[in-house]
Structure 1
Amino acid sequence: MGASIEPGTVKRALSAHAAIGLLAGAILYILCLTGTIAVFYVEMQRLEQPGAPEMAEIAPEAVQRGVEAVLAREAQEGLAPTSHLYVHIPVEELPRATITTDSNAFHLDAAGNIAMPERIAWNDFLVHLHYTLNLPSLVGITIVGAFGVMMLALSLSGVLAHPRIFRDAFRLRARNNAGVGLTDWHNRLSVWTLPFGIAIALTGALIGLATVTAYGIAESAYDGDVAAVYGPVFGEEAAPDPSPAPAPDVAAALQYMAREHPGVRLTYAILHDPLTAGQHVQMVGEHDRRLIFGEYYAFDSQGRFAGTTGMADGALGQQAAASTYKLHFGNFGGVWVKIAYVVLGAALTAVCATGTYIWLGKRRRRGIEEPRLRAAWTGVVVGTPVALLATVAARVAIGNEAPFAAIFWIALAAWIAAAVALAARRRPAPEALPA
């Protein structure tokens, strides 16, 4: 005689199964909402630190002065040598010159002097929340990439599960039935955002899973050398030589770009292993009417041109890899493309929210009454923007040093817990239920 499972155990297992589904939906909702807000990441930097010096352009000699000043300052402070130094070149969307090292970030004035530290911790928190859910980098970005795959599967399976979805793309039934109205809006928004949703999900999955894939390939084929995996796509790293050397001639590289490639819009200058004999410089330049984030122009420490990586004219796979970032974040066509991304992103966020409500409604119609789960989901939908507003309030009240990640997750958890507790109080006691 086979062992039987107690009904209470089955009920608890079903509730646990539903709770796991709710958690997955919550993460997807958070990713969609934060991604929508992060479209204006560059503009929000200017809002978060409005007093930073701004300029339409900066002279090569000023950049050189700034690089040497930052490297000298870090040496005086006894900081470990930075492995990479990034110079943000002023562009129309962000007309600021900023130098970032492994330890610091500073704004420069137009003459190349250090003006002030960069103070955009809230924006950095938002991007890390979207990229990694504030988890350790490799773990977080892998989880986010997996949710990109899940989102892609949901988009495609939703179309296959509703054969009339395109024919009924603009049909809304009478809303006297709340469930029907919600389902119709969910389906309509899903159709209207389908190309956008597929593009965002696919590029998000590629960006998120690329790192763990690279680590896997490195362990199996390159003796753990991750740089060797990325080399054919993003360029090879030069052989390191830690012997001391003066700062590289960044000005000469900038002058070369202005003279030989005047149509390329420079966005970054990157110094690899600065102040060592193995140092070299890369310029990142955007090309008009291209989705690539930029081409890498390589220079030696004397500012002599050494070639390009091939992001603009290399293998098709290489060009495709360089195009995922702009396509995912919408920073390729000016403010109107960004506005379109925000509108479509908000619709995609609504699809995530309504999808879970529809799922919970179907369970309810099958006799599975779960008021706590429904309250928890409402807590997620309402609590996520509330928690984000709490981090904004902390930025105003406390400043750049506020623990934004802790504030967000604690506020969200508290909101969900309060919603569940309130639902439990409203639920009638078993003896009060009608016979």
Structure 2
Amino acid sequence: MDKTTKQNALNAHNWVGVFLSVLLFLVCLSGTVAVFHLEFERWEQPHIQEMDNVSPQVIEKAMDTFLAQNPEESHHLYVVFPTSDIPRLVVENDHKAYFADQEGNLLEEESVSFTQMLVDLHLYLNLPQSWGMILVSALGAIICTLVITGIIAHKRMSKDAFKLRRGGNGQQAQIDLHNRFGLWAAPFHLMIGITGAYFGMAGIILVTVATLNYNGDRDAVVNQIFTPDPVLAPQEGKPAIGKAFAQMETLAPEKSPIFLTVHEVGEPEQFIEIYAKAPNRMIYAEGYRFDTAGNFVGVAGYEFGEWGKQLVWAMYRLHFGDFAGMTSKWLYFVLGVMLTMLCVSGMEVWLSKKAHPPLASRLWYSVVWGSVSALALTAIADMFISGSLIAVFWCVMAVNTVLTVVFKRMTKPVWLLISGFSVLLLLTLYVVVHGEASLNVASLQLNIPMLAYVVWSVLRANTLLKREGMQNDINLQPSSPARETTA
């Protein structure tokens, strides 16, 4: 490509990245952490009994007890099996969810407020869902734009693929790091951008396809992707969920049941559907359908459906890395960190070219490291209050901004230290609140990485503070005679 095209791509890359840097960073950071949203659900209530499997009789008992205690009207009933990615038994309706033990006795109500806030931050930026998701999806398209313009603008891609220069004022190293992360993980970043854009644009795509191919009939398009409900004789009576679940060992012995749904509870069209994870397939699950009496009706047909249907049903696992256990989740976490650091390094390169304007630089670091502190303090608040966690998070972010404007010492290493000590405070209070349960697998699988972050943040902040001190000493040294003469 000619120089003009490359320069135009670079200009577009710079200005799009700068103007949307804060939103892109928050979406990328929350998405990176939300890769472990199922683990965070376990972490929030670590004392709940966990198990590998459950019998049909236990499921029946747990649901019967739940319905007796929660008789309110609901269109759906759900059972989350311990064979899912959360090794716990959960029974719920449209309003409440309760854990159950291995005997089918109810334990306590499910409470995942922090996890929900985190996921909502990633999906909607905590905005109203209707247009929050559209905004976040637009940011997914922006990520694709940044990846493509970054590749076009790269002048010596093949020569600089493994170059990482050190020394000087650090600006060149920052540029190299930004380019390497952008180049090496470009396929992942594009995939995240495309799948992220899909979630918010699905409604627009639905309307467009319906208008062009189905005379505006949206239901016809939906039925092409989501298999219509089975046509059954009028149903009545209590759904035989235990009988339906017992048949899965025969119907799909190679699959892991994830959860069960009773659709249209109490209505003539009531039916049971069990979703099971298909091995070696990227689709979210195959659906096995039963009538109210527990008789097998058929499968939804997602596993071997048309490629378009399979692609749509693979979007969730592709976006969140939920397809190869903890291996894929940790891979997505590392790649997500790279994408998040692209936002950080890109803004730092821009700030360095502007000679690091003090207030703008401090504000940026208050967003980057202050958001980590805000998440930690929000998780702490969740352990002691029952109010809105969204309000807590954004109030902390607002306080961070005020502190940054008022105090000139709120620089990058200071914010890094604050983030580390905030996470340390979270871990300390977590141990106080949960006691022995803070040492089980549900807790340690997240507490150990968080402790590692504390250690890294303190060490890194200490290095930056020393570097700042050395730079201040250099600036305070008197000019040499030769320099004064030249001046």
Structure 1 length-normalised TM: 0.83
Distance 1:106 1:221, change over 3 A: farther
Could you say which residue in structure 2 is the equivalent of 1:3?
none
Give the structure with the larger helix fraction: 2
1:119 paired with 2:119, answer no
1:397 paired with 2:384, answer yes
Q: By how many angstroms is 1:91 displaced?
A: 2.0
Q: By how many angstroms is 1:207 displaced?
A: 2.1
1:152 paired with 2:144, answer yes
Could you say which residue in structure 2 is the equivalent of 1:358?
349
Q: By how many angstroms is 1:220 displaced?
A: 9.2
Distance 1:131 1:262, change over 3 A: same
For residues 104 and 245 of structure 2, the distance between their equivalents in structure 1, rounded to whole angstroms, comes to 14
Give the number of aligned pairs. 398
Q: 217-226 or 376-385: which moved more? A: 217-226
In structure 2, which of residues 246, 259, 262 is the aligned counterpart of residue 255 of structure 1?
246
Q: Is the 8 A contact 2:232 2:291 kept in 1?
A: no
Amino acid corresponding to residue 382 of structure 2 in structure 1: R
Secondary structure of 2:20 counterpart:
helix
Could you say which residue in structure 2 is the equivalent of 1:413?
398
For residues 219 and 302 of structure 1, the distance between their equivalents in structure 2, rounded to whole angstroms, comes to 40
Amino acid corresponding to residue 29 of structure 2 in structure 1: L
In structure 1, which of residues 67, 70, 74 is the aligned counterpart of residue 70 of structure 2?
74
In structure 2, which of residues 169, 188, 196 is the aligned counterpart of residue 196 of structure 1?
188
Amino acid corresponding to residue 80 of structure 2 in structure 1: H
For residues 21 and 174 of structure 1, the distance between their equivalents in structure 2, rounded to whole angstroms, comes to 25
Secondary structure of 2:407 counterpart:
helix
Once the two structures are superposed, the pairs formed by residues 173-188 of structure 1 within 5 Å of their partners are 173-188=165-180
Q: By how many angstroms is 1:117 displaced?
A: 0.6
For residues 96 and 102 of structure 1, the distance between their equivalents in structure 2, rounded to whole angstroms, comes to 19
Q: By how many angstroms is 1:330 displaced?
A: 1.1
Could you say which residue in structure 1 is the equivalent of 2:373?
386
Give identity over the alignment, percent.
32
Could you say which residue in structure 2 is the equivalent of 1:170?
162
In structure 2, which of residues 24, 29, 41 is the aligned counterpart of residue 28 of structure 1?
24
For residues 222 and 109 of structure 1, the distance between their equivalents in structure 2, rounded to whole angstroms, comes to 49
In structure 2, which of residues 294, 304, 307 is the aligned counterpart of residue 303 of structure 1?
294
For residues 400 and 294 of structure 2, the distance between their equivalents in structure 1, rounded to whole angstroms, comes to 55
Distance 1:60 1:425, change over 3 A: closer
1:161-184 residue CA offsets vs partner (Å, 9 max, x unmatched): 104234312101233032212111
Please, what is the CA RMSD of the aligned residues? 2.9
Q: By how many angstroms is 1:49 displaced?
A: 0.3
Q: By how many angstroms is 1:229 displaced?
A: 3.9
For residues 207 and 68 of structure 2, the distance between their equivalents in structure 1, rounded to whole angstroms, comes to 35
Q: By how many angstroms is 1:53 displaced?
A: 2.3
1:52 paired with 2:76, answer no
Q: By how many angstroms is 1:219 displaced?
A: 8.8
For residues 92 and 217 of structure 2, the distance between their equivalents in structure 1, rounded to whole angstroms, comes to 25
Q: By how many angstroms is 1:129 displaced?
A: 1.2
Q: Is the 8 A contact 1:227 1:237 kept in 2?
A: no
Q: By how many angstroms is 1:47 displaced?
A: 1.6
Secondary structure of 1:156 counterpart:
helix
Once the two structures are superposed, the pairs formed by residues 338-377 of structure 1 within 5 Å of their partners are 338-362=329-353, 364=354, 371-377=358-364
Distance 1:293 1:373, change over 3 A: same
For residues 194 and 177 of structure 1, the distance between their equivalents in structure 2, rounded to whole angstroms, comes to 27
Q: Is the 8 A contact 1:107 1:117 kept in 2?
A: yes
Q: Which runs of 5+ in 2 are unaligned?
A: 1-13, 412-487
Q: Is the 8 A contact 2:84 2:259 kept in 1?
A: no
Once the two structures are superposed, the pairs formed by residues 268-307 of structure 1 within 5 Å of their partners are 268-307=259-298
In structure 2, which of residues 28, 37, 43 is the aligned counterpart of residue 41 of structure 1?
37
For residues 15 and 152 of structure 2, the distance between their equivalents in structure 1, rounded to whole angstroms, comes to 26
Q: By how many angstroms is 1:23 displaced?
A: 5.7
Q: By how many angstroms is 1:258 displaced?
A: 1.4
Q: Is the 8 A contact 1:373 1:420 kept in 2?
A: no
For residues 84 and 59 of structure 2, the distance between their equivalents in structure 1, rounded to whole angstroms, comes to 18
